A and B are shown apart, each in its own frame.
Chain A
Amino acid sequence: MEANLEWYIGLSTILFTIGALGVLTRRNAIIIFMSVEMMLNAANLAFVAFARHHANLDGQLFVFFVMTVAAAEVAVGLALIVAIFRSKQNINVDDLNLLKG
């Protein structure tokens, strides 16, 4: 039996939801970043599935752009985490209230 578009979109939905749950429930900033990566990855899976469904390469190109943005986001985010860790010795997001007035 053939796995058609619904199966891929279903898997993409499940992975995105697990990523969102990770962002909402975890307090470690690094785990939150990893969950965001997984959400981007779930969106990429949906892009590739729709690209195959419509036999169109544009969807695959969007995945490249998403990957570029994800790589830039990870580099800047991890640099921020390292900078915060240097000053506060902690990366628990509940303790980060430097911007509070």
Chain B
Amino acid sequence: MGNLILFIPLAVVAIAAAVGMVISRNAVHSALFLVVNFASVAVLYILLEAPFLAMVQVTVYAGAIMVLFLFVIMLLGAEQLSGLQGGSQRALVERGIAGVLALVLVVIFAIATFGGGGIEGAANLEPMDTAPQSLGLLLFNAYVLPFELTAVLLLAATIGVAVLSDFKKGGK
């Protein structure tokens, strides 16, 4: 599942970009940090022998979704709006809850993976067919109903966006 020499720098870049996204005061900088995070996760997908997913990650996430984010940030001029607020009582309580959540997650992860002797069969990986053709065959055979449901979901989202942006008033 990839050499550690490749994995560790990618993981460091992904985590650093994630932290940069959360603490950055400028929303445009946050969006660009998130692009770096998505790109490093795409390279991790290649290490995990999912090359087609890596391409989809770059085009859909780093491409389409992030362009939408940047477009809205710049449309609203929301670059500098409300960053981290220090001082207020509620913000401190929320950060305390967030810190406890983080600690609990890390402890559970540590117990689950290293306390119980690790995950079974991690050393011997079977070879895997990762061609886009086999993904497509699986999608249109076993998962054809969920696939149709996503079509309905996307249609509903499109209609919802058109209603929310009030196209009748804007058009005339």
A residues near B111, Cβ cutoff 8 Å = none
Encode A40-73 as 1/0 by CB contact (under 8 A) with B: 0100110011011101111011011101111111
Interchain CB contact under 8 A, B98 and A38: no
Q: How large is the interface on B (under 10, 10 to 19, 20 to 34, 35 or more residues)?
A: 35 or more
Question: Which of B1, B8, B15, B18 is A2 in contact with, Cβ under 8 Å?
Answer: B1
Question: Which of A15, A20, A48 is B14 in contact with, Cβ under 8 Å?
Answer: A15
Q: Would A4 and B122 be within 8 Å (CB), given that A45-B41, A48-B50 are in contact?
A: yes
Encode B37-61 as 1/0 by CB contact (under 8 A) with A: 1100100110111101100110011
A-B contact pairs, 29 of them (CB 8 A): A2-B1, A4-B1, A4-B122, A4-B123, A5-B1, A11-B14, A17-B102, A25-B84, A30-B73, A31-B27, A34-B30, A37-B65, A38-B18, A38-B34, A49-B1, A52-B128, A53-B1, A53-B125, A55-B125, A55-B127, A57-B129, A57-B135, A61-B143, A67-B56, A67-B57, A76-B164, A79-B160, A81-B72, A83-B165
